[in-house]
A and B are shown apart, each in its own frame.
Chain A
Amino acid sequence: MDLSNTQAADVLQLTNIHKAFGGVVAIEDFSLNLKAGEIVALVGDNGAGKSTLIKIISGVHAPTSGTIAIDGKETSFKDATEARASGIEVVYQDLALADEQAVYMNMFLGREKTKGPFGQLDRKGMVQETEDLVKELDVRIPSAKTTIRNLSGGQRQGVAIARATHWATKLVLLDEPTAALGVAETAKVEENVAALKERNLAVLIISHSLDQVFRLSDRICVLRRGQQIGVRETAKTDKNEIVSMITGV
């Protein structure tokens, strides 16, 4: 690997992404670059195409045309597993946690640690790593062995973000991570998101809360009915401008 090149290239480069579902155009000619340690917010009304875009980046949908490059290298993920393998993690709107399983099993879902000649699950090791991680991220849960079902919405989202933090090496995509949360829980999740930036990960976050977007992001990208209206530096714009970009008036 050419290190100088990797450092120079943006973590994520989307170029002229186009996506149609049958006759319905969901994304039209979308281009965006993301750097390491940068938080970009993706905003737009319901049905604008935000979730679709995240699914394209994470390998759930293939773009109809256009290219995706990771660290300057063009890629096309066959499925979410491949995207995960390249260090891209997603925190979904409707989570993606197995409710009846313990926190630590969810943390290692699909990538369980094993030991011994028969490939036994290394529960102790997974519990330990989970305890360390939730402590570090200050996700307050009773224990790593707690069943997800017994956690609050904020705690669950904390677990989902902790999981993404643990496995992401490049990019974290968050689709409305605080949509169902109260004020205090939202604040906690925002701290967790800010911590991703500290770890030099690139972050793309979808949110309907402009207050949140202005608190967290470095740049704001606006979508309206599949069209990319524009990208603004958060420090150089205000809510009025973003609102009029979202609504078109």
Chain B
Amino acid sequence: MQSTMQKLRQLNLSQYVVYIGFLLIFLFFAVTLGNDGFLTQRNLTNIVLQTAPITIMAIGLVFVLAAGEIDLSFGSIVAVAALGSAVVLGDYPLFVGVLAGLGIGLAIGFFNGVLVAYLRLPSFLVTLATMGLFAGVARSMTDLRSVPVLNESFVNMFGSGSLFGVPSLVLWTIGAVALGHFVFRETKFGAHVLATGDNARAAQVTGIKVPHVRLLVMMICGGLAGLAGLLYAGRLQAARYTLGESDLMTVIAAVIIGGTALKGGKGTIIGALVGSLMMGMLNNGLILMGLSVSDQMIVRGVIILIAVAISLRDVNN
């Protein structure tokens, strides 16, 4: 009895907020928008497809936050990687274009990581600066012009294609979540990320290579932002400097609501997935309700505030 009580007390609410919130929002839209096409298979599939880049970015952010750092620059990385890849695809075959996109993401992540891990500059300031810097790079790369992606296999692979009837965007989501979850939960590296974010000094004295961990999480986040850029370019069949521009809040909200601690030491990839699906559903429902863009932003902001407040409640006391 006693131990059951103890266990109950140790279960913190924040872990389940995302699942409850997801269900509540789903039910709300199912009831209010059931006749407006919310429940159609097409619409539900669409939500998942639209959420794919958000989920991929969220996975990277879970690693970064769990390690006690933050990355604000991933939105800009998305744009630079998508544009870089699209430009390269104009002249080179598929795999060169893919490598360009992922390489750009990893390289920017490396740049962030070196500043954070080895020069010990605060990641908030570093990535705030690189967010602006690479947003500028994205604008100047093609003079604000969007670049069409005509490579069909690229569009199949990262956009409209499917394998055995499963849309490729869904496959990318499942693959990234599965791999991310495995690395985060089941490997030494994942444990070291959590320890670093929890108590960097403790991690250090027990022999964990803390700077190494910090560099790697920034690179993971950059690399995944690069992948998100490819997914955007594939789905829209074009790359543009605005890609990823407005995803910062959505991704951070998805991750925090999902149960990852802003102060490090705690995180969950599955939670981030559900959080990001919840954000996608919210977007979709608000549009179907016929809200104006400004009203959508307000309602979304309020709902995120409520969800984040509940998620962080037990951290504060």
Contact = CB atoms under 8 A, between A and B. Distances in A.
Interface of A: 60, 80-81, 84-85, 90, 92, 95-101, 105-106, 109-112, 114, 118-121, 142, 146-147, 150
B265 A99 contact: yes
Contact of B207 (A84, A97, A101, A147): A84
B188 A101 contact: no
B129 interface: no
Interface string B170-202: 000000000000100111101110110011011
A84 B194 contact: no
B317 interface: no
A176 B200 CA distance: 21
Nearest to A92: B205
A100 B190 CA distance: 14
A133 B10 CA distance: 23
Contact of A110 (B187, B208, B261): B208
Contacts of B188: 112, 114, 119, 121
Contacts of B265: 98-101
B169 to A, nearest CB: 26
Contacts of A80: 204-205, 207
B202 A142 contact: no
A101 B10 contact: no
B195 A111 contact: no
> Chain B contact residues (Cβ within 8 angstroms of A): what range?
20 to 34
B198 A101 contact: yes
Contacts of B266: 100
A168 to B, nearest CB: 13
A121 B182 CA distance: 10
B206 A146 contact: no
A159 B198 CA distance: 17
Nearest to B187: A119
A185 B204 CA distance: 27
A248 B271 CA distance: 61
Nearest to B204: A80
Nearest to A108: B191
Given A84-B206, A110-B203, 8 more contacts: A84-B207, A98-B194, A100-B198, A101-B195, A114-B188, A118-B182, A121-B187, A121-B190
Contacts of B41: none
Nearest to B9: A150
Nearest to B195: A98
25 contacts: A60-B205, A81-B207, A84-B206, A90-B205, A95-B202, A96-B206, A97-B202, A98-B199, A99-B198, A100-B194, A100-B198, A101-B191, A109-B191, A109-B195, A109-B202, A110-B192, A110-B203, A110-B206, A118-B182, A120-B187, A121-B185, A121-B187, A142-B3, A142-B6, A150-B10
